[in-house]
Structure 1
């Protein structure tokens, strides 16, 4: 049974972009941003290209940075994805961030490239974030 307030419990939570900006300005806000990020739905240019025994086969777009390094672009909203690809609309997929991190193998990601505030996570940082998620889920299992 739900109450009117419980249906909208997250309506007052700061949007992910706001948390990202706060984390850029205040180191103490970093954990709140990462906690929100791993559970958020994100948007990634790419497409399903087939099916394997393990599930869908994905082709995620890889972009080049100014320094010639490559990264997978990840957007916290469809609007930011559309702004970044305005001249060249692309197909995209949506993921819960923790699932995307688990699917990425040794790749850097940039969150909200082409926007005022973006964040690049190098492959080792992606792995650290994934390990933290795994550790948290194991802790949750231990509590049950």
Structure 2
């Protein structure tokens, strides 16, 4: 007898409040950490890779459009969103919630979101534990 294939339930899109909670939690965690774990580092690397190459799918296009709006939230906000939310959550979030999240990050742009000197706040991506490269 063949077992029925168990399908993954559809993801619920994050609201702005839920996304902001994830961002704050991640900022706190990264502020206390000395380095990124592999999962976090991979998320940042994939985000920068997608910024430098054309998207191959609609979901990648949505994520890339979000990442290209980094002038609103600054490069630190961009890295923080890449770690906290990742491709899947950004892709599934509605345009309105994405815009609201960017606006909220924009309000915090000139304040350090992460109180860790290793997490760069400028626009360059150099080798370093919190910059997605080791």
Same fold (TM over 0.5): no
Give the structure with the higher percent helix: 2
Give the structure with the higher percent strand: 1
Which one has a bigger Cα radius of gyration? Answer: 1
User: TM-score scaled by structure 1?
Assistant: 0.30
